[in-house]
Amino acid sequence: MGVALATGAYGFSFGALGTAAGLSVAQTCVLSLVAFTGASQFAFIGSIANPVSATLSALLLGLRNGLYSLRTRPILGPRGVRRLLAAQLTIDETTAMAAGQGTAEAARLAFWATGASVYVLWNLATLLGAVGAAHLGSPQHLGLDAAEPAAFLALLAPRLTDRRAVGVALAGAGVAIAATPLTPAGVPVLLAAGVAVVAGVRSPRAGGMADRTTGASG
């Protein structure tokens, strides 16, 4: 229930900020229906000044969803159409809920129940937010230009779980700000992605991370 309520609020924000950023209601809804991964969608509408880098930022943010299958696939083992359906529902929320269960049966149930409710609520809330904001007025007047960075901050905070994450966040923000006057729109954020790649490749604690990752899959 908590997840569902949070999803509604989050989807409503996305819908409202999507149309405020200049997307049509239909474009905002297509993102929620097909992309169905919040952080990527926020990144896309937030960087829309340069659609190419907006798309690249969104895809880079979506890469983590591809890796969640490591945890969900052994639990679900879906085939055929169900596999594509499971893939579409493999996001932060469903992976976390499935991983938090004691038995495989409970994990399967948690995955499908969370996935179905989040999908429905996310899309309904997006539509409501998009239609609602289209009738509101000037984004600047309403402070919606400040709502976007606040949304990114709220998405970032739960990921700052250790000192390395904090370091990567600070470095990423620093690189983006330093590059802003020097490069075209959208490029600074992609440069910041380079910080994550360098930090991830160079980590001295490779073994420890791997053990923890596979350990969590059971």
Partner 1 sequence: MIWVGVVVTSLGCLAIKAVGYALPSRVIARPVVQRVAGLLPVALLAALAAQQTFAHGQSLGLDARVPAMMVAALAVWRRAPFLLVVVLAAATAALWRMALG
* Site residues (CB under 8 A) for partner 1, limited to 55-84: 55, 57-70, 73, 78, 83-84
For the chain, report the end-to-end CA distance as a whole number of angstroms: 25
Residue 172, interface with partner 1 (CB under 8 A)? Answer: yes
Task: Choose the stretch contacting partner 1; rule: CB under 8 A; options: 101-109, 111-119, 138-146.
Answer: 138-146
Return the residue matching tokens 């055929």: 80
Query: What is the DSSP secondary-structure string of 112-142?
Result: HHHHHHHHHHHHHHHHHHHHHHHTT--TTTT
Question: What is the smallest separation between the CB atom of 38 and partner 1, expressed in angstroms?
Answer: 10
Question: What is the smallest separation between the CB atom of 102 and partner 1, expressed in angstroms?
Answer: 22
Return the residue matching tokens 């905070």: 157
Site for partner 1 in 83-112 (CB under 8 A): 83-84, 86-88, 90
Residue 196, interface with partner 1 (CB under 8 A)? Answer: yes
**Count residues contacting partner 1 (CB under 8 A)?**
105
Q: Which of 4, 33, 106, 113 binds partner 1 (CB under 8 A)?
A: 33
Are 78 and 112 contacting, i.e. CB atoms less than 8 angstroms apart?
no
Q: Which of 34, 81, 103, 204 binds partner 1 (CB under 8 A)?
A: 34
- The contacts of residue 13 (CB under 8 Å, 6+ apart) are 129, 147, 151
